[in-house]
Amino acid sequence: MLIVVSPAKTLDYESKRPTDIASQPDFLDHSQQLINRLRQFSPLDIAELMKVSMKIADLNVDRYTSWKKPFNDSNARQAVLAFKGDVYTGLEAYSFNKTDFKFAQEHLRILSGLYGLLRPLDLMQAYRLEMGTRLQNDRGKNLYEFWGTIITEGLNEQLNKIGSDCLINLASNEYFKAVKPKALKADIITPAFKEKKNGEYKMIGIYAKKARGMLSRYIIKNRLSDPEDIQSFDEDGYGFNKSLSKGNNWVFTRH
C-alpha cells in the first residue's frame, strides 16, 4: 500500500531530530520554477494571493528569497519532522525508530503545493504555498495545472516499486485534487473519520485530521500490506463502521 497525506501550515525547525537520515525531493527543479515566480510578488501581493496577514506574508517573502539549493542539514529539515499540524500530531513521527522511518519512506507520501510529492525523509526548506492557491504560472492559472500529471506519475512509480495496486487516500480534498485518479494505476481507498454527536455521525475537522495521522502511524508501525487489515484500526476509540462504509469509502466512527 501507498499512503498519501496533506502537509501542514505550521512548521517546526527547532525540535531535536530523532534521525539524521535524509533524502532529496524528486521535483526540486519544478519547485525552483515556483520559487522564481513567487519572488516576483511583494509582501502585499502575497497577503492578497494567499489571504494571510502581512506578518505571514513578510515571513514567506523572506523564505522565498532565502530558498536555495543544495538542500542540507543546515538549511532544511526532513519533511515529516518539519510539518507540525493535526495530522502530524497523530502520526507521531518523532517516536519512530529506524525501521519505522524505512517503512514510511517507502509507503508514505506527502502532497505539497511547492514540492509536489515528498517522501518523509526528504529535506524541505520552510515555505507556505497551499495547493489551492490560484498562482498564475507558465503552465496555467493554478497549482493543479502547474503540477499536471507529475504527481500522479510519481505515485505510479512508487506503487510499481513496492509492487502495490492500492493507494490509501488520507489527504484533504484540496490536496488530493492534484492526483489524477483515472491515470493512477491503483485502487483508491478513502477512509473517513466521524464522531457521534446528538445521535448522528459527523466529521469534525480537527479530529479527522489527527485520525488520518493515527491511521498512517498504525499502517507504518504494523507494516501493513493488505488494505483489509486497515479495518482493524481501533486507536483512540475508533472502529470500522461497515454500515456507513460504501465501496472504497471506509468510515471509522467513535462515540
C-alpha closest to that of 113 among 79, 86, 89, 90: 79
Query: pLDDT per residue over 35-64, tens digit each?
Result: 999 999 999 999 999 999 999 999 999 999
Q: Residue 172: pLDDT above 90?
A: yes
The confidence score (pLDDT) of residue 213 equals: 98
**C-alpha cell of residue 225:** 500490506
Q: Residue 255: pLDDT above 90?
A: no
Query: pLDDT per residue over 82-129, tens digit each?
Result: 999 999 999 999 999 999 999 999 999 999 999 999 999 999 999 999
Q: Residue 79: pLDDT above 90?
A: yes
The confidence score (pLDDT) of residue 5 equals: 98
Mean pLDDT (the chain) is 97
The confidence score (pLDDT) of residue 7 equals: 98
DSSP alpha helices (H): ranges in 3-95? Answer: 28-38, 43-50, 54-66, 79-82, 86-91
The confidence score (pLDDT) of residue 237 equals: 96
**C-alpha span between 51 and 224 (Å, rounded):** 40
Q: How many residues does the chain have?
A: 255
Q: Contact at 8 Å (CB) between 108 and 120?
A: yes
Q: Contact at 8 Å (CB) between 219 and 238?
A: no
> Taking the complete model, does pTM exceed 0.85, yes or no?
yes
DSSP tag of 214:
H
Q: Contact at 8 Å (CB) between 175 and 111?
A: yes
Q: Give me the residue label for grid cell 527543479.
A: 29
Q: Residue range 12-30: average pLDDT?
A: 97
**CA 76, chain centre distance (Å):** 17
Q: Residue range 130-152: average pLDDT?
A: 98
The confidence score (pLDDT) of residue 72 equals: 97
